[in-house]
């Protein structure tokens, strides 16, 4: 059923004669249900003409006043004389022009002066198919998607001009027109295209989807349509650092809200001019939101940094904890890059034993995201088989909250260590006993000299909760300690030039040094432990 009524005739006639397409006409007549927009373009044009014919004698020519223009594609001259080829069955074709951009050739009507072709060929099946082909070729795995469509800012200007025109026409009929009475271009576009995308790709459109398909339209021919706004509302168009043009959609909308009707009409034609060409598609991109993988790692090497150690472009040590774990994930998830974080970290020469240290890896723009827990287990096995320097456990997919858990673990949770200590003076078992009895020892640590070049100079108070000593020989003993997060163990042992007080040297009145350090546990119960 044709959605327009007698009331809409004047407006529809006015809009059609000034070069506006049927779907935009529906929008300005407040047609707010989806079905009419989804009908094929030719059919809509026919119905519209019939609807308008019933009152007028002469055929409503599809050629608007002013005189007909030839439709020119960006690169091609199609040589179709506007008048001669106005058949009822005119074809709307999608052509790929030399530069690979997609345009439409519609011999029945000029390019719409409001939507610049967006609601003409760019919302029909053929175009959608082309976009979907690109999506499928991109190699992403997805079960839903979110569509992000970007229109050129000058569309808002044209929309505003058309709205003023319609408002004026309706005023003659003593009818008012609010902004909400018209249907927004983007809404109508979504009504039409979402089902088409869903059908073509076989998945639903979901606003919360992590998989985003973005289509960017531009219309170089009318780029300067917006520029007059800057003269009238200069403060809306402040140059932002990263943006190429100061005429963003937001800025243009803001200015249109501010500008007075008279000022607008002085500067911009109402109705808008008919353009020569339709919009072009500058970009069809697919991207998947990051996914997170967490686990715990053990480190068995005393020669492995946590992150790659590169100075002046030269790698100082082979590999790193993060690379040994993440490289496999990057491959399997087909991600672009990763961000590795963990609940604290250990030095190159320190092992991580016990349950290991919690870590979380953000995989950026993954092409594959669905894995069964069995597949994750196999991935864990693969990582563990590929290196004896590190081992991973409890590998699992987690949400973005993971990062918060990491930081909490780093800053708040206790850790336990074991250190092999050398003393210059000969010691007996009894000399160690008093250390076992010390509970919650407060120490003040100035920023260790070894990190002072990259950390602020400060004094940090930390607590050594408890200690346990194991005598080895006259010059060696093992010290097990449980400490507050953020304690520098090496400095607690050797004193760091007396800048950590008290320290083992001062407590025992010896010169002591640390020969070996191991992390025995990181007391965080996250991520959740998995069976086997």
Q: Nearest distance from residue 266's CB to other proteins, in Å?
A: 55
Q: Nearest distance from residue 448's CB to other proteins, in Å?
A: 10
Among candidate residues 263, 347, 431, 523, the one labeled active-site is: 347
Which span sits near other proteins by CB under 8 A: 174-182, 202-210, 215-223, 442-450? 442-450
Spell out the residues 6+ positions from residue 472 whose beta carbon is closer than 8 angstroms to its own. Answer: 420, 478
495 binds other proteins (CB under 8 A): yes
119 and 185 Cβ atoms separated by less than 8 Å? yes
* Distance of alpha carbon 302 from alpha carbon 517, whole angstroms: 9
DSSP state of 4: -
314 binds other proteins (CB under 8 A): no
Q: Which is nearer to other proteins, 96 or 452 (CB)?
A: 452
Which span sits near other proteins by CB under 8 A: 12-20, 103-111, 355-363, 469-477? 469-477
305 binds other proteins (CB under 8 A): no
Q: Which is nearer to other proteins, 59 or 452 (CB)?
A: 452
* Total of chain residues touching other proteins, rule CB under 8 A: 23
Q: Which is nearer to other proteins, 305 or 495 (CB)?
A: 495
Tokens 């108070």, located at residue: 461
452 binds other proteins (CB under 8 A): yes
Cα separations (Å) of 331 from 141, 313, 359, 383, 399? 14, 25, 19, 12, 20
99 assigned to active site:
no
Q: Nearest distance from residue 472's CB to other proteins, in Å?
A: 7
* Distance of alpha carbon 449 from alpha carbon 496, whole angstroms: 7
Binding mask 385-424 for other proteins (x = CB under 8 A): -------------------------------------x-x
Q: What are phi and psi of 429, to 5 degrees?
A: -55, -40
* CB atoms closer than 10 angstroms to residue 471: 15
Beta strand 102-106 with 92-96: parallel, antiparallel or unpaired? antiparallel
Candidates 169, 476, 480, 530: give the one binding other proteins (CB under 8 A). 476
Q: What token pair was written down for 205? A: 């459109």
450 binds other proteins (CB under 8 A): yes
> Helix (H, G, I), strand (E, B), or coil: what is residue 388?
coil
Q: What are phi and psi of 358, to 5 degrees?
A: -65, 140
Which span sits near other proteins by CB under 8 A: 30-38, 301-309, 325-333, 449-457? 449-457
Candidates 38, 190, 462, 475: give the one binding other proteins (CB under 8 A). 475
35 binds other proteins (CB under 8 A): no
Buried b (16+ CB within 10 A) or exposed e, 515-526: eebbbbbbebeb
216 and 101 Cβ atoms separated by less than 8 Å? no
DSSP state of 244: S
Candidates 35, 83, 240, 449: give the one binding other proteins (CB under 8 A). 449
> Helix (H, G, I), strand (E, B), or coil: what is residue 32?
coil
Q: Nearest distance from residue 497's CB to other proteins, in Å?
A: 5
Per CB under 8 A, residues contacting other proteins are: 422, 424, 446, 449-457, 472-473, 475-476, 494-495, 497-498, 511, 513, 515
Catalytic residues, by residue number, are 347
């Amino acid at each position: 059923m044709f959605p327009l009524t007698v009331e809409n005739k004047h407006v529809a006639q006015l809009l059609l004669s000034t070069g506006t397409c049927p779907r935009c006409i529906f929008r300005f007549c407040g047609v707010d249900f989806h079905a009419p927009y989804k009908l094929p373009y030719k059919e809509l044009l026919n119905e519209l003409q019939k609807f308008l014919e019933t009152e007028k004698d002469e055929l409503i020519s599809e050629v608007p006043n002013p005189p007909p223009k030839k439709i020119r594609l960006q690169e091609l001259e199609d040589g179709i004389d506007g008048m001669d080829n106005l058949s009822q069955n005119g074809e709307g074709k999608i052509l790929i022009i030399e530069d690979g951009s997609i345009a439409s050739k519609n011999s029945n009507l000029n390019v719409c002066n409001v939507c610049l072709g967006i609601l003409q060929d760019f919302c029909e099946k053929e175009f959608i198919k082309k976009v979907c082909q690109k999506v499928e070729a991109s190699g992403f795995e997805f079960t839903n998607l979110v569509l992000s469509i970007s229109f050129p800012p000058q569309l808002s200007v044209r929309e505003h001009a058309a709205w003023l025109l319609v408002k004026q026409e309706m005023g003659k009929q003593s009818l008012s027109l609010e902004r909400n009475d018209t249907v927004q271009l983007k809404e109508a576009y979504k009504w039409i295209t979402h089902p088409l995308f869903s059908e073509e790709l076989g998945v639903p459109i979901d606003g919360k989807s992590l998989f985003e398909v973005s289509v960017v339209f531009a219309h170089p021919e009318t780029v300067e349509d917006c520029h007059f706004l800057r003269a009238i509302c200069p403060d809306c168009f402040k140059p932002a650092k990263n943006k190429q043009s100061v005429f963003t959609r937001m800025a243009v909308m803001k200015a249109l809200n501010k500008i007075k009707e008279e000022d607008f009409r002085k500067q911009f034609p109402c109705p808008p001019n008919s353009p020569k060409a339709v919009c072009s598609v500058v970009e069809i991109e697919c991207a998947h939101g990051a996914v997170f993988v967490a686990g715990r790692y053990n480190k068995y090497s005393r020669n492995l940094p946590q992150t790659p150690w590169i100075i002046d472009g030269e790698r100082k040590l082979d590999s790193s904890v993060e690379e040994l774990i993440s490289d496999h994930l990057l491959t399997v998830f087909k991600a672009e890059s990763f961000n590795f974080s963990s609940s604290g970290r250990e030095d190159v020469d320190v092992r991580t034993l016990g349950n290991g240290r919690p870590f979380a890896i953000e995989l950026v723009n993954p092409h594959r995201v669905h894995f069964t827990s069995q597949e994750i287990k196999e991935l864990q096995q693969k990582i563990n088989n590929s290196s004896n320097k590190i081992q991973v456990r409890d590998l699992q997919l987690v949400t973005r909250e993971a990062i918060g858990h990491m930081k909490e673990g780093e800053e708040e949770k206790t850790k336990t260590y074991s250190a092999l200590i050398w003393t210059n003076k000969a010691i007996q078992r009894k000399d160690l006993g008093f250390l076992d009895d010390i509970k919650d020892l407060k120490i003040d640590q100035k920023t260790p000299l070894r990190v002072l070049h990259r950390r602020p100079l400060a004094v940090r108070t930390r607590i050594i909760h408890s200690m346990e000593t194991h005598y080895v020989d006259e010059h060696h003993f093992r010290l097990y300690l449980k400490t507050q997060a953020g304690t520098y163990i090496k400095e607690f042992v050797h004193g760091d030039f007396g800048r950590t007080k008290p320290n083992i040297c001062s407590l025992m009145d010896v010169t002591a040094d640390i020969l070996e350090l191991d992390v025995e546990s990181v007391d965080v119960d996250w991520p959740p432990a998995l069976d086997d």
